[in-house]
Amino acid sequence: MRRDLPYALSGLALGVLLLGNAALAPDAGTVRAIDVALVLVMAVAVAACRRYPVVALGVVTAAMLAVHVRVHPGVSAAFPVLGVVYVAAWRGRRSVAALASLVFLGAFLARDISVAPAGRPGQLIAERTALLLGWFVAANVAGLVAGQRRAYLAQVEQRAIDAERTREEMALRRAGEERLRIARDLHDSLTHSISVIKVQAGIAVHLARKHGEEPSAALLAIQEASGAAMRELRATLDVLRSPSDGDRVGLARVGELAERTRAAGVPVHVTVTGQPRDLPAEVDQAGYRVVQEALTNVARHAGPATAQIHVAYAPAQLTVSVTDDGRASPVRPVIPGVGLRGMRERVTGLGGALHADARDGGGFAVRATFPLDGPA
């Protein structure tokens, strides 16, 4: 409706101009109620000419010819027709615009000839006809040029959209090729190394039990951690080869993380509050990775410590926190490493927030919140 408002205002302005000219012109007839009604019909048709150019052009042409025959307000009767002719040509109705121009000019000329005054009627009619002819030719040409410019701009915009789509497709294809290359490199190097660690740890455990000895907790932890690393690496390779597939980790497997950390000698307590619910895959995986990285830092840097894992489900957000009572202190600020930076990028990339800092009473705390009330 807002796009039709300028046309409606133009129709009213043309109607006022037409009635004012009819009232002031010395050779114009008396304006009656039916003439005012015709002007109002013209104004309504002009208001709708953007959406219905053919119908509006027919209505405006007929109404203005009727007003011209009844009142003879002069060339002002042609102004609404000129405007709608331009719009019709602009909207691609060139033949209709040309036909309406010829019909209006012919009827206008016929009426002038029929009521021509004595003296030099030919010169007056020729001058008025030449003036109107020039106006109508200009309106048709201007509408044609505007329509061609509009089509050209639409074509340019479509080409830009197609070019952008092509660039996106190329970027996706290159990203896919890069994922495959990374997957091959990981499979050829890292998978082999982890497999060797797992096999050697398994052999050591087997030999210890063969000699009647109980394997050490550290050896069992190495065996378990290497097996878990192999499973996660295979899942990561599956995701790299096919991003939509793969066995993605999530918060449902936090218990496994806690068990492996306990096997490495760090006591871990897990607390879940709220009603567990299905989470977006990205949020579920990010929460798991935050817990994983935080527990790794506890095992590497906290010294003798106990870790607390807290997963809190709320209707609008998910909160994952890992705290420990290790040797971190506010007096010695922690310098963020690659792990903390990766955690922050992963969390903020999903619209969440990450707080990681030393606790006032000693130890370290990592707290990540993820919004769940909208798309990640």
Question: Do residues 290 and 263 make contact, with C-beta atoms less than 8 angstroms apart?
Answer: no
Residues in the chain, how many? 376
> What DSSP assignment string belongs to 101-122?
HHHHHHHHHHHHHHTPPSSSHH
Global pTM value: 0.45
H or E, element range at 98: helix 94-114
pLDDT at 211: 81
Say if residues 376 and 283 touch (Cβ distance below 8 Å): yes
Residue 333 in tokens: 């600020």
**What residues in the chain have per-residue pLDDT under 70?**
1, 25-28, 115-124, 187-189, 191-192, 238-248, 333-338, 374-376
pLDDT at 226: 79
Q: Report, in angstroms and rounded to the nearest whole number, the Rg of the chain calculated over CA atoms.
A: 41
Coil, strand or helix at 311 = strand
Task: Determine the 3-state secondary structure of 40 from DSSP.
Answer: helix
CATH number for the segment(s) 266-376: 3.30.565.10
pLDDT digits (tens, 9 = 90+) for 157-191: 888 887 887 887 787 778 777 877 777 777 666 76
Q: How far is CA 144 from CA 4, 89, 103, 136, 270, in A?
A: 21, 5, 19, 12, 74
Do residues 279 and 245 make contact, with C-beta atoms less than 8 angstroms apart?
A: no
Beta bridge partners of 366: 322, 356
**What was the pLDDT predicted at 246?**
45
Handedness of CA 135, 138, 140, 143 (dihedral sign): negative
pLDDT of 116: 61
Note whether 357 and 365 are within 8 A (CB).
yes
Q: How do 353-358 and 364-371 pair as beta strands? A: antiparallel
CA atoms within 13 A on the CB side of 228: 18
Return the pLDDT at 245: 43
Structure tokens at 62: 């007929």
Pair type for strands 317-324 and 353-358: unpaired
**What are the start and end residues of each CATH 3.30.565.10 domain in the chain?**
266-376
Residue 375: what pLDDT? 46
Backbone CA torsion sign across 349, 353, 358, 362: negative
Q: Do residues 307 and 324 touch, judged by C-beta distance below 8 A?
A: yes
Phi-psi region of 247 (alpha: psi -120 to 50; beta: other; left: phi over 0): beta
